[in-house]
Chain A
Amino acid sequence: MEIHFSTILTSLLHGLILGMVLVIVAGGLTIIFGMLDVLNFAHGSLYMLGGYLGFTLATVTGSFWLALILAPIIVGFIGFLIEFFTLRPLYGRPPLHHLLLTFGISLIIQNAIKFIWGNDIYTVSIPSFLSGPTRFLGISYPTYHLFVLFFSLGIAILIWLLISKTRYGVAVRAGTEDIETLEANGIDSRKLFTAVFVIGTALAAIAGAAIAPMRTVYPQMGIDIIIDAFIVVVIGGLGSIRGAVLGALLLGQAVQFGAVFLTGFADAAIYIVMAAILLLKPSGLVAETE
């Protein structure tokens, strides 16, 4: 097989976009785990809900942009209900309890989606000025894909600013390290937990709504993303945001180059990367929790 520069560039871009979307999805999962010690299995279903809501809202309001803002707000509210009514009583319990709970919730959400939208696949139309390809460096690349790349980059920077530059961010970072000291300093950790969970779920929905025009919305989309997102969180070092970003970008490239070079075994690439990382560094890439 002859490999051209343009093939490599296209693959790199595909992988990068995949990685950036994973940064958003797994980023939400990571801040939730880092702060609440909860592995949220329902994250994939909330991502999926973001996609479906995005589709319907875009159709009803006629504005893709409005949908992109409203879908995460609605899903964030659902996240609030989940945290307030089901997760709160379970803090401090073994991680498996959170897993069973959120697994149950994910089944409920999936069923609700099936109930409302059926088993059909929906295409979300791209805003006209983002449709068609863009030409640069000798390749022609879908403009909307590039938009997703910059959009997720923007969201990632926004989260980074929120965490590193604001006093809420300081509280979140402190909470990841030591809840008792944080409480002793007069911060209500309950409210902080709720806020983190809501933001985390909203991030899943943002990713789902943003990627919908690229990949359509379909009944398997939640299941398809959840394992990848979990893998990113795990290889990143469980709760480390830097680790998750690194892990997501690595995984994006692994999936993409797996598809090019491991034809027929493309899916194995992510598991090879994960197994290799966990065997070499048993606590993940960036072990901040230690």
Chain B
Amino acid sequence: MAPVLSVKNLSIDFLTPSGPVHALREVNLCVPQNKIVGIVGESGSGKSTVISAVMRLLANNAEIQAGEIDFEGKDILSMKESELRELRGEEIAMVFQDPMTAQTPVLSIGQQMIDIQYRRSLSKKEKRQKAIDMLARVGIPDPSDRMDQYPHQFSGGMRQRISIAMALMMNPKLLIADEPTTALDVTLEAQIIHLFRELRKSFDGSIIVVSHNLGLIAELCDEVVVMYAGEVVERAAVDDIFNRAAHPYTQALLDCDPARLDALSQTLPTIPGDVPDLQDVPEGCIFASRCDQKLQQCSSNRPPAATITQAHDVRCHLVKDD
């Protein structure tokens, strides 16, 4: 079955007064039907840029240097604004990081949820009912009463649930969740993870979860894409990433997560060094400057993408095609 989303060779620059910043370089990833794909990366990895590109909500100074984004066979990058508007909210939906600013403060939740359905020719009463049903599904108590309340009358956790409700209401083919739990306390995070798991049973689209939280990714995702400084360094099924990571960055990242360290450690592991300056992309492998398994050629030759098993590929000189 063809993937829902396929990003091919995407390269994006941001133009600044001091020169272009090469934020994304030859990014390839795909989201199969009915799967949850996690994009993991730290600051500067480019994961938010990829998502913005898919939604075509990039900043004004972004310039797409190359690549395609195929959504159900259509290239998003060549669509007109009117076509994109048809897609957004209906076929691709997004849940944002900060629940406190995600809804319009001056309209009631009900009004906002009815508004999303503007493309459908249902009666007002039917739209209202659909909204109520959706709020119930995400666990909002007394939805028919609370529909008429305003966003500020809901707590952060509730508002994130509402965001999810709004995103899923039109049954999109793709849901993008950008750091959905980062702004929430850990007990609320657990509830949202549980919610996603429940909703997944009845939702037949695919989900992209963007996060820097390895725990969230491990709990929810089927497949994982690891990004570093604007490149995809490794892609695999979740089990392979967490247990058989092939890229030194992925390995180091996993080692640094204190929740993975069983033995109590006086000194916490880190990855020394800084993310390279993307205005001046170094030659060779992007991770070479911080890699502890570096070979001679890593500083001069950029590694090609190698396939380990079907669905597990890495960009590293240490790994050859199997």
- A and B bound? no
